[in-house]
Amino acid sequence: MTLLAVETSCDETSASVVRDGAVLSNVVSSQIKLHAEYGGVVPELATREHLRNWQPVTEAALRAAGIAVADLEAIAATQGPGLPNALMIGFKAAQALAFALSKPFVGVNHHEAHLYSPWITGQPPRADFKHFEPNVSLIVSGGHTMLVHVRAELDHIVLGSTLDDAAGECFDKVGKLMGLPYPGGPELDRLAAEGSATAHDFPRPLLREANDDFSFAGLKTSVRYFLQKNPALLDDGRALRDVCASVQAAIVETLVTKTVRAARRLGVGCVTASGGVTCNRALRAGLESACRRHRLSLRLAERSLCTDNAGMIGVLAERKLLHGGTTTLLDAEIEPGWHLA
């Protein structure tokens, strides 16, 4: 099946052509530079960028895949969760295309797509569901931190999620407190590589609690107080790197410990991770060593598929069409608050 997918839930306009599990193209136009000036995503600006970009990005995806519009057999788009007006652009454009072509349309949950992105591997990327095994999946993005038990393909249950700030949000807010450019996550990752992770002991929120939830607001607040007490650290490159490494270590230890603990409790043999924060080198290394120690197999989404992209939307949409064939009505609405259950 040849399918076009569109993703516009936040600050990336993306289109992808997927054919029989192979991601033939995955074009992403990121708005990071535009929003950096404001220190965070400005919804109105994001919407205007999606309006401007969805058509050229879609054309580029078709061109890169060598596919004509007339070759498409299905259309998919992110239906939620996300910024309402941003979602609307890609979702309604995709519905209009499905209407014009008289082809089936699938609205996809953005987080469910992240959930299966670790199974897309290789170059060119291809979905490898032949080796699928039940797993505990960590989704860590700018807006969400979630642990999900994926019992079988297209069958999952959310174990826990963030009670306040998500891990990516914590990286970004701490970055802002330190005066680093937006988004703080990649900057902290870079500076932490040259710092000492044991220089400062920041809290590991909910680490010892017997649940699968996360909470990072307290960690952010403790970094704020710490910096208020020690303002000179911000002007000392070496000391700043130590703070970055220590904050990162607190976030990573919390994520890794809770993920592996859930996998062992549920008796699954596999752990997966996806979402923007999965780009973080310390998180990747931490999951690798913990999984090795506990004899769990590990699938990390490839870096280019960690951040938002339409390739993962297309792979899941095709899977859904092949398993049961549920489609979404052409007058269906976006679901900005559609959280995984």
Nearer to Zn ion, 166 or 262 (CB): 166
- Enumerate residues 286-315 that contact Zn ion by CB under 5 A: 308
Query: Which residue's CB atom is positioned nearest to ligand KG4?
Result: 276
Strand partners, 160: 147
Contact string (CB under 5 A) for Zn ion, positions 189-228, x = contact = ----------------------------------------
* Under rule CB under 5 A, residue 141 binds Zn ion: yes
The least distance separating ligand KG4 from the CB of residue 84, rounded to whole angstroms, comes to 15
The least distance separating ligand KG4 from the CB of residue 248, rounded to whole angstroms, comes to 8
- Enumerate residues 279-308 that contact ligand KG4 by CB under 6 A: 279-280, 307-308
Cβ atoms within 10 Å of 90's Cβ, excluding its own: 29
* Under rule CB under 5 A, residue 7 binds Zn ion: no
Nearer to ligand KG4, 98 or 178 (CB): 178
The least distance separating ligand KG4 from the CB of residue 273, rounded to whole angstroms, comes to 12
Q: Which residues bind ligand KG4 (CB under 6 A)?
A: 10, 141-143, 168, 171-172, 183-186, 189, 275-277, 279-280, 307-308
